[in-house]
Structure 1
Amino acid sequence: MFNLLSKFSLAIAAFALVFSMGSCKKDDEDTATDTDLSMHLHYKVGTEDFAYDQVYTIDGVAVKFTLAQFYVSGINIMNDDGEMHSFDDLFLLAKPSQMDYALGTVPASFGDHLHMLNFNLGVDSVTNSQTEADFTSRDANDPLAAQNPGMHWSWNSGYIFMKFEGEIDTDGDGTTDSTAHWHVGKNSFLRAVELTAHEEMNENHTINVELDLSTIFTNTNLATDYQTMTMDNMPLATKVADNMATAFGVE
């Protein structure tokens, strides 16, 4: 009789435990909320904060920037289970004057752990080959509309994915003396960026991303490699695009 009662009591306890665990899970699901996700982009040059017209020393060469902007597209995030959430049709024109960008709403079903942030530098081939009407009819606030300074070769030649301009010291006296420009575009120069985040998201969450502009000149000789319009200097354009993809990190 005692054994029978003991077994019955254990069964009741086990049932209560399972019911309790199920109730907790249901409570967790009920209290889960959507996340309004944004990205904060912090420009740096090495260990220094970025500013236009400030002279930096990169690999022993004096450099200053007068323009530094680029397109971001194909943004998506991944959780620990490998599930993706994409921000479809979102294009950003990243520039130092704007550090904060709203990405969109992440549904509660995604979970609260952000494992990776992924995006492309540039725009997809379909967007890059739009018609003149598509391009010229865009609202002035649309990042893909005509820009000043321009971020488009021409309506039928596509976007400039990355555009950096400034001055370089070419004679080694520490003073910038020559105009520099690195304009990178064309479909083959689209580059993917993958960043591991490992962040617990709350209702309003910001991913802090750092960009080190000095990285884009890795394996170049700044004193001589300071001009490309892509097609006139493909090797340098390729280096800049490849380096740019490695220039980001999560703060």
Structure 2
Amino acid sequence: MKLMNIQTKITGLVAVLLLSLSACSKKNDPTPDFDENNLAPLSVEFDNIVGDRTLSFNNTASLYTNAAGEKFSISLVQYFISNIKVTTASGQTYTVNPDSSYFLIKGDNEATRFANVKVPEGDYTKLTFTLGVDSLRSTMDVSKRTGVLDPGTGMDGMYWGWNAGYIFFKFEGNSSVISDDENGDPTGKKQFKYHIGGFGGYNAPTINNIKTITLDLTAGGIAKVRKDRESNIHLLVDLMKVFNGKNSFKIADHPNVMFSEYSTSVATNLSEMFRHDHTEN
């Protein structure tokens, strides 16, 4: 009898302890449960730079220089951002409605630099997004691919009709280091082109250049999302990383990279372009 009483008391104490811990956890977590009916505005700003300089187009008077010492100018930058997620300090992750989470960032159009979404009110310490268009959306019926994903609109040249796939990242410019043999521009300009895509399906199942980027926001300021204001997570996107990333390469060696095995090396560099600068709450 005494043993049973002791066991009963221990069980009761454990139950009380667990309830206390649960209550404490909920008290400390600003967003214990995501409320789909309590969404607030959040914007993610993609501010394109080149090394320590601002991005300018066709600036031949002040060329950029990569790690290999090659000088170049930039004529076009465009890329897809998708599948935005935010995470709280306790590790809870909210995924933005996929139908509202695809954006085409155009370097020459300031209006496109903001990805505006809705997330539950709360404090978020991490931001996650995809560079590119995921395989699920890429293979959906065209009726499910509207707006910036509509292949019928031309999408500013961000779709390979011949390969039925999206170009995730398009980067073009000019450099004198490109040999005449590699130069296919009819105007005589020595042009480089990096059109990176491939989601691991269709004609090239081995090429998968979809990249998921997760950024810690704590150093530059967490996002405190509330209905009465719009938080803005300001990111810097360093285009110099295209050349100077983990798989550093010379423009002269690879002036044109599109749907090829080498595109995977360039895609790895693209993951390094993004860094959190600050958050405006």
TM class by smaller structure:
0.7 to 0.9
SS at match of 1:201: strand
Alpha-carbon distance between aligned partners in 2 of 1:84 and 1:44, rounded to the nearest angstrom:
29
Q: Does 1:121 align with 2:131?
A: yes
Unaligned runs of 5+ in 2: 1-23, 32-37, 180-187, 200-207
State whether residues 123 and 161 of structure 1, in contact with CA within 8 Å, keep that contact through their aligned partners in structure 2. yes
SS in 1 for 2:148: coil
Mark the structure with the bigger radius of gyration: 1
Residue 7 (structure 1) aligns with: none
Unaligned runs of 5+ in 1: 1-21
Q: Which letter does structure 2 place at the counterpart of 1:122?
A: G
| Equivalent runs, 1:29-178 vs 2, <5 Å | 34-54=39-59, 55-59=63-67, 60-89=69-98, 90-96=101-107, 97=109, 98-104=112-118, 106-108=119-121, 111-112=122-123, 114-131=124-141, 134=142, 142-145=147-150, 146-154=153-161, 157-170=164-177, 177-178=189-190
Match of 1:244 among 242, 254, 270: 270
How many Å separate the matches in 2 of 1:116 and 1:46?
24
- Runs ≥4 in structure 1, deviation > 4 angstroms? none
- 3-state SS of paired residue (1:149): helix
Q: Is the 8 A contact 2:178 2:255 kept in 1?
A: no
Q: How far is the alpha carbon of 1:138 from its aligned partner?
A: 5.7
Q: Greater share of strand residues, 1 or 2?
A: 1
How far did 1:249 drift? 0.3
TM-score by length of 1: 0.75
State yes or no: 1:180 paired with 2:180. no
Work out whether residues 151 and 159 of structure 1, in 8 Å CA contact, stay in contact via their aligned partners in 2. yes
* Matched residue SS, 2:79: strand
- Normalising by the residue count of structure 2, what TM-score does the alignment of the two structures yield? 0.68
CA distance in 2, matches of 1:190, 1:169: 31
Does residue 194 of structure 1 match 2:214? yes
Secondary structure of the residue that 1:241 maps to in structure 2? helix
1: CA distance between counterparts of 2:236 and 2:154? 24
Question: Are 1:210 and 2:225 counterparts?
Answer: no
How many angstroms apart in 2 are the aligned matches of 1:155 and 1:225?
23
- State the shift of 1:239 in Å: 1.8
Report how far residue 180 of structure 1 moved: 0.7
What do you get for the CA RMSD once the two structures are aligned?
A: 2.7
Note if contact 2:196-2:259 (Cα within 8 Å) is conserved in structure 1.
yes
